[in-house]
Structure 1
Amino acid sequence: MAVTQQLARVSLRYLEQCREAARTSPFGDPQWDPPEDDTMDLSWGVWELLGLCRHTQPDAGQIPILRRAINGDSDCGVSFLDHPAVYDGYGPPPTLLTPAAVGHVAGELAAMDIGPLLEAIPAYREAGGFSGSIAEHRTYLVDHFTLLREFYRAAGKREMAVVTWID
């Protein structure tokens, strides 16, 4: 089983329902089941984009926003999601970005130009950053960054929170 980055767009009301379900369940089960259209498996694409950024532009302002988009801000009251029904326990428990934070992240991602970063792929590859075709790798990173940006754009527009975790 691959380890991948997971995201879910949820309303604060839905989170409260899950919190209450966990509180009343004898096993702490939050009944976590967000709609499939509001979940995303980003695979490892954004982690690789972060690796590329750290290797080639260690002081880039893009690093904190990419980290925040996939790591959330903190527990922010979602410790009830630290349950096997939500994630497999690999890595830290799920974290949250509030609707206000999601709006900020969405704006930062919308303004981000990863073109110059992608120009560093040949040097990154030579340093052992990845194997395979440069064109394929570039396409993979662009596609996954676009998915992340669109996911946050939709969440921001709908004033939703985002829960992040690794599974």
Structure 2
Amino acid sequence: MAVTQQLARITPDYLERCRRHAALHDGDPDWDPPAGDHLDLDWSPVALRAVCERAGLESAGLERTQVDALRRALDGSAAVDLGVLNTWPYPIAFVGPATALTPAEVAGVAAELAEIDFPALLDRLPSGPTLAPLLGFDLDGDPARYLLRHFHALQAFYVGAARRGLMTVLWWD
């Protein structure tokens, strides 16, 4: 079974509903966010970070705030208590604890991600079959196309969450 990164857009009220449900039902938070607010990033996060690192920050025109935003978009923060989603026997994450970003953090991340010209970063790196090993992952097919698809999905996911004032929850499953 492959372990992949998952993201969900939820309201703070939804998280509170999960807390109440867990308190009444032996710890079961009844975690089931809407399918339209779910993003499966597959195993792209490691390679997305590596593109930013390998392309070179200053020479690629990438700001430190943008790299930090990408990191937060993929790692979450400690600002939200997700104990209810990280507690046995109902943890949602297979590897490590679930994390989250508040609606305010999501808005900041979305604004910074929107400024990243990911195709330009990829243009600074070798193309074809030499790209995947350079980034530390194994992939059949075109790595640049795979990474572009996942980066654009991540951008759109955060922009949509920010527009709707939602928080994000992140986990590896």
Q: Please indicate the TM-score interval, normalised by the length of the shorter structure.
A: 0.7 to 0.9
> What's 1:23 paired with?
23
Aligned-partner residue type, residue 92 of structure 2: Y
> What's 1:96 paired with?
100
User: Does structure 2 conserve the Cα–Cα contact (< 8 Å) formed by 1:9 and 1:163?
Assistant: yes
> What's 2:170 paired with?
164
Q: Distance in 1 between matches of 2:18 and 2:133?
A: 45
User: Does structure 2 conserve the Cα–Cα contact (< 8 Å) formed by 1:6 and 1:41?
Assistant: yes
Give unmatched runs, 5+ long, in structure 1. none
Change (3 A) 1:128 1:101: closer
Alignment of 1:75-94 (within 5 A): 76-83=80-87, 84-90=89-95, 92-94=96-98
User: Does structure 1 conserve the Cα–Cα contact (< 8 Å) formed by 2:44 and 2:150?
Assistant: yes
> What's 2:150 paired with?
144
User: Does structure 1 conserve the Cα–Cα contact (< 8 Å) formed by 2:7 and 2:168?
Assistant: yes
User: Does structure 2 conserve the Cα–Cα contact (< 8 Å) formed by 1:4 and 1:42?
Assistant: yes
Aligned-partner residue type, residue 29 of structure 1: D
User: Does structure 2 conserve the Cα–Cα contact (< 8 Å) formed by 1:32 and 1:85?
Assistant: no
Change (3 A) 1:137 1:76: same
Deviation at 1:3, TM superposition (A): 1.1
Q: Distance in 2 between matches of 1:128 and 1:112?
A: 21
> What's 1:121 paired with?
125
Confirm whether residue 55 of structure 1 aligns to residue 54 of structure 2.
Answer: yes
Aligned-partner residue type, residue 146 of structure 2: Y
Give the aligned length. 164
TM-score, L = length of structure 2? 0.84
Deviation at 1:126, TM superposition (A): 8.6
Deviates more, 1:48-57 or 1:121-130: 121-130
Match for residue 154 of structure 1 among 134, 157, 160: 160
Change (3 A) 1:132 1:9: closer
Aligned-partner residue type, residue 172 of structure 2: I
User: Does structure 2 conserve the Cα–Cα contact (< 8 Å) formed by 1:46 and 1:141?
Assistant: no
User: Does structure 1 conserve the Cα–Cα contact (< 8 Å) formed by 2:55 and 2:122?
Assistant: no
SS for the counterpart of 2:126 is: helix
Give unmatched runs, 5+ long, in structure 2. none
Deviates more, 1:152-161 or 1:51-60: 51-60
Aligned-partner residue type, residue 30 of structure 2: Q
User: Does structure 1 conserve the Cα–Cα contact (< 8 Å) formed by 2:100 and 2:168?
Assistant: yes
SS for the counterpart of 1:2 is: coil
TM-score, L = length of structure 1? 0.86
Q: CA RMSD in A?
A: 2.3
> What's 2:45 paired with?
46
- Runs in 1 of length 4+ with deviation above 4 angstroms? 130-133
Q: Distance in 1 between matches of 2:158 and 2:53?
A: 22
